[in-house]
Chain A
């Protein structure tokens, strides 16, 4: 519900911003809206009882993150995020959940905590991690040596074209190693999921 309301709010703000031609203000408002949607649906991922609802919430988070990528001027990654993550990987998750028939009654959460205060202590640990991260971010200086690809240069060449060019020049070796990784993953998946033939 909150997600729907904030989505509609973001849409209205975006339309008003485009009409009034105040791009900077619109971008700021849009970032905070999208960030809050991402956080709310990420919390929803880990508190939902039904795994299907968790998958749907994760899709909302991934789409919000792709909008954050758009605000950061990474158009190609935003498209890939939606196609690969929200499209392919999440469909794989949904497919496995439906194949294993994991509903509300068979959610794989049965049994009590093995540790005495597992939930409380893990939330405490996560909060501690967050506080440490924020302290590090606040006390860091994000300056230093900058590259040559400013926003204007990227927009002149085109984000997708630049990513492609760099993939086949500077990042050629990692790119080829990635293909070997994917090949190994394909073979591993088939071997693991294959049904043993009864003799």
Chain B
């Protein structure tokens, strides 16, 4: 490998940190979901990089399963957002305190 493995992992760390900051700062539920997708993708990058580095296919197979989980999560999450929007007419997570007792 010409590019060292640490650079791939640092790219993954940068993307993961950006996703964390997005989850913590934004109030739009959909953008919070997109930041979660960003974090999942950052993890995928390090999986594939280590898979190549260690001459193993396990990392690539795991990325395959992570993609499935991400698709399921996006589908269910967006359905929850639609249901909440019908009730509250807002996707602002500060106003969505239905589950707070």
Q: A residues within 8 Å of B by Cβ? A: 24, 27-28, 31-32, 35, 38-39, 42-43, 45-46, 51, 54-55, 58, 61-62, 65, 68-69, 71-74, 76-77, 80-81, 84-85, 88-89, 92-93, 96-97, 99-100, 102, 107-111, 114, 118-119, 122-123, 125-127, 129-130, 133-134, 137-138, 142, 144-151, 154, 162-163, 166-167, 170-171, 174, 178, 181-182, 184-186, 188-190, 192-193, 195
Residue of A nearest to B31 (CB): A54
CB distance from A130 to the nearest CB of B (A): 4
Q: Which of B37, B60, B86 contacts A163 (CB 8 A)?
A: B60
Q: Do B13 and A130 touch across chains, with their CB atoms under 8 A apart? A: yes
Q: Do A162 and B57 touch across chains, with their CB atoms under 8 A apart? A: yes
Contact mask B40-83 → A, CB, 8 Å, 1/0?
01001100111111111110110111011111111110111111
Give bound CA distance, A152 to B16, whole Å: 31
A-B contact pairs, 28 of them (CB 8 A): A28-B2, A35-B11, A45-B18, A46-B21, A58-B37, A61-B41, A68-B8, A69-B45, A80-B64, A81-B67, A89-B71, A92-B78, A102-B30, A102-B91, A109-B26, A119-B25, A126-B21, A126-B24, A130-B16, A133-B13, A146-B55, A147-B54, A163-B64, A166-B61, A178-B65, A185-B73, A185-B76, A186-B75
Q: Do B2 and A24 touch across chains, with their CB atoms under 8 A apart? A: yes
In this complex, which of B10, B17, B49, B50 has the most chain A Cβ atoms within 10 angstroms of its Cβ?
B17
B interface majority secondary structure: helix
Complex A-B, nearest 10 residue pairs according to Cβ-Cβ distance, in ascending order: A147-B56, A122-B24, A46-B22, A185-B72, A126-B21, A108-B28, A133-B13, A192-B79, A130-B17, A108-B91
Give bound CA distance, A145 to B53, whole Å: 11
Q: Do B41 and A46 touch across chains, with their CB atoms under 8 A apart? A: no
Q: Which residues of B contact A166 (CB under 8 A)?
A: 57, 61
CB distance from A155 to the nearest CB of B (A): 12
A interface majority secondary structure: helix
Contact mask B84-96 → A, CB, 8 Å, 1/0?
0110001110110
Q: Which residues of B contact A99 (CB under 8 A)?
A: 82
Give bound CA distance, A127 to B14, whole Å: 9
